[in-house]
Amino acid sequence: MDGFRAVKTIASALKSDLPVTLAAVARVDDRVGERSMDEDLARCIDDAQSSSKFPWQFCFVLGGGWRRADAAADASRAHGLDRLF
Amino acid sequence: MDFQEKQILPPKSWELFEELCLVLFRAIWQDPAAQKNGRRGQSQHGVDIFGEPGKIGNVFHGIQCKGKDAAYGSSLTTDEIDSEVAKAEGFTPPIKDLTFATTALRDAHLQEHVRKLSVARAGNGRFTVHVLAWEDIQSLLAEHPSVIERFYPEQALDMSAILRSVQAMPHGQDVANMLALVQKCIGEGQRLSPAYAPLWRPITYDHSRGLGPALLGRGLGPGDALSCPRLIEADIVVRLLRSAFSARLVGDPGTGKSVCAYQATHTFAQQGWSVVRLGDPQVLNVNLAPPDDKPTLFLVDNAHLMGQDVLADIEDQACPTRFCLRFIRHPIIRLRTAGPLQWMGFAQ
């Protein structure tokens, strides 16, 4: 399997039908949308593609993975467990 | 019926009777060094067999074998006992006890004579005397199955012991567990129709959850794979399976092997093929024998957990109606035959 090519394939397919993709992405990351101050979905897809070697990374970034990771780190810090990271 | 309750005849010859006595008293005395006294024609001083019961230290006992019944032509008499006891006085070193082992039937008169003789001799510090009739010898034999097995093999069948052994053998759930283990080891489960299902699990594509699980990093099932954009590799897999009947999908974790495999196998499912996945990748032998004649695509996940011989055997069974697709998590491509096709991460 070629991770880069798979990422490119997935990104292209998602961009080809943005309304359907937005419905799915917005359910897991409410910062992405068409409202003012929302992040543009096409730009999110491009960013995820450019920073990912594998499909799982692409999905992680596009699905707001870093945001969830930050939230988990904050929760851990609040409990004094951030050193585990 | 116990051996003791049976009517057992003495050995046909005196020599064999003497041999029986030797083996029997070796067991009773727990003295494997007990032996016959000299050879025929030599003076035996009234002792045919001697040994050291319990090996307590140079304390010898003697046996005088007397084949005395209708078969041997005579009976044991008190005079004969007295005569043999007198002869045994010459045995050196002196014995502690002399036993007359006879094939004759028990005789109360003879027993009384021997008791009195033994008591009188013990009072004078001389060896004691006993007599064993054939019934007594048979009773002693019953306590030593190994001797019975040697001289009366037809009587050695101990049903009680056999029954105990059978009852001690694994049974019930133990046997069921053993059977399950054997089936797993030999991989013959699918030949026994009911066991086919646990080994090969059917794949269905009727449960799609959209892109959500993928975006959140959850494991993806066959239905989820159809929600994902179709990967180019899925079409390559379809072409390889149609031309070579088997294919290997190799890649790092997270590269989309499962999604790709499910997308490719879905193509065949739409064309009427059965798609099954191996339930346990650690089986030692797999037979691609579907329960019906329907074309079947066999999917092997976690193939890196399987032995190379097992994988090779699986692929050798692939044919126009039995396709095999395996995916491996390590980016290691092993080429097993001359002239294999290797193309962009695929090893055929």
Taking contacts as CB-CB distances below 8 angstroms, the residues of chain A near B214 are: 59, 63
Residues B10 and B154 in one domain: yes
* Mean pLDDT within B242-271: 88
> Does B229 map to a domain?
yes
* Mean pLDDT within A60-64: 90
> Does B178 map to a domain?
no
- Could A65 and B217 be called an inter-chain contact, meaning their C-beta atoms sit closer than 8 Å? yes
Residues B119 and B55 in one domain: yes
User: Where is the domain boundary, B166, B201, B222?
Assistant: B166
Residues B104 and B235 in one domain: no
Model confidence pLDDT, tens digit, residues B200-235: 888 888 777 888 888 888 878 888 888 888 898 899
Compute the count of residue pairs across chains A and B with CB atoms less than 8 Å apart.
75
pLDDT value at residue B193: 43
Residues B199 and B139 in one domain: no
- Could B212 and A13 be called an inter-chain contact, meaning their C-beta atoms sit closer than 8 Å? no
Kindly report the nearest CA distance between residue B293 and chain A, in angstroms: 32
Model confidence pLDDT, tens digit, residues B313-329: 888 888 888 888 887 76
* Sole residue written with tokens 């002869």: B87
Residues B88 and B235 in one domain: no
> How many other C-beta atoms can be found within 10 angstroms of the C-beta atom of residue B73?
8
User: Where is the domain boundary, B121, B150, B166?
Assistant: B166
Taking contacts as CB-CB distances below 8 angstroms, the residues of chain B near A9 are: 229-232
Residue of A nearest to B332 (CA): A1
Among B286, B276, B275, B281, smallest CA distance to B183 is for B286
Is the pLDDT confidence value at B100 over 90? Answer: yes
Of B211, B216, B249, the CB nearest to A1: B249
Of A6, A13, A65, the CB nearest to B255: A6
**Total of domains in chain B:** 2
Among B283, B280, B292, B276, smallest CA distance to B324 is for B276
Q: Alpha-carbon distance B8 to B26, whole Å?
A: 21
CATH classification of the domain holding B199: 3.40.50
Residue of A nearest to B347 (CA): A1
pLDDT value at residue B22: 95
B286: contact with A, CB 8 A cutoff: no
Percent helix, percent strand, percent coil in chain A, to nearest 5: 70, 0, 25
User: Where is the domain boundary, B148, B166, B184?
Assistant: B166
Residues B139 and B285 in one domain: no
> Does B338 map to a domain?
yes
Q: Which residues of A touch B (CB under 8 A)?
A: 1-3, 5-6, 9-10, 12-14, 21, 24-25, 27-29, 54-57, 59-60, 62-65
Q: Alpha-carbon distance B262 to B247, whole Å?
A: 14
Residues B34 and B93 in one domain: yes
User: What is B160-225 written as a DSSP string?
Assistant: HHHHHHHHHS--THHHHHHHHHHHHHHT-GGGSHHHHHHHEEE-------TTHHHHTT----HHHH
> Does B156 map to a domain?
yes
- Could A1 and B212 be called an inter-chain contact, meaning their C-beta atoms sit closer than 8 Å? no
B153 versus B229: the higher-pLDDT residue is B229
Is the pLDDT confidence value at B334 over 50? Answer: no
Q: Alpha-carbon distance B90 to B282, whole Å?
A: 78
pLDDT value at residue B284: 65
Taking contacts as CB-CB distances below 8 angstroms, the residues of chain A near B230 are: 9, 13
pLDDT band at B29 (very low <50, low <70, confident <90, very high): very high
Taking contacts as CB-CB distances below 8 angstroms, the residues of chain B near A63 are: 214-217
Interface test with A, best of B218, B235, B255, B332 (most A CBs within 10 A): B255
pLDDT value at residue A61: 92
Residues B135 and B229 in one domain: no
Range of the domain at B278: 193-347
Residues B129 and B203 in one domain: no
Kindly report the nearest CA distance between residue A49 and chain B, in angstroms: 13
The average confidence (pLDDT) of chain B is 81
Taking contacts as CB-CB distances below 8 angstroms, the residues of chain A near B216 are: 28, 63
- Could B345 and A1 be called an inter-chain contact, meaning their C-beta atoms sit closer than 8 Å? yes
Residues B11 and B110 in one domain: yes
In this structure, of B89-103, B212-226, B264-278, the range with the lowest mean pLDDT score is: B212-226
Is the pLDDT confidence value at B87 over 50? Answer: yes
CATH classification of the domain holding B155: 3.40.1350
> How many other C-beta atoms can be found within 10 angstroms of the C-beta atom of residue B165?
10
Q: Model pTM?
A: 0.50
pLDDT value at residue B51: 95
Residues B215 and B152 in one domain: no
- Could A54 and B214 be called an inter-chain contact, meaning their C-beta atoms sit closer than 8 Å? no
pLDDT value at residue B335: 40
Contact between residue B46 and residue B62 where contact means Cβ atoms under 8 Å apart? yes
Model confidence pLDDT, tens digit, residues A10-59: 999 999 999 999 998 988 888 888 888 888 999 999 999 999 999 999 99
Residues B115 and B257 in one domain: no
Instruction: Give the CA angle between residues B59, B61, B63 to the nearest 5°.
Output: 165
Q: Which two tokens stand for residue A15?
A: 């961009």
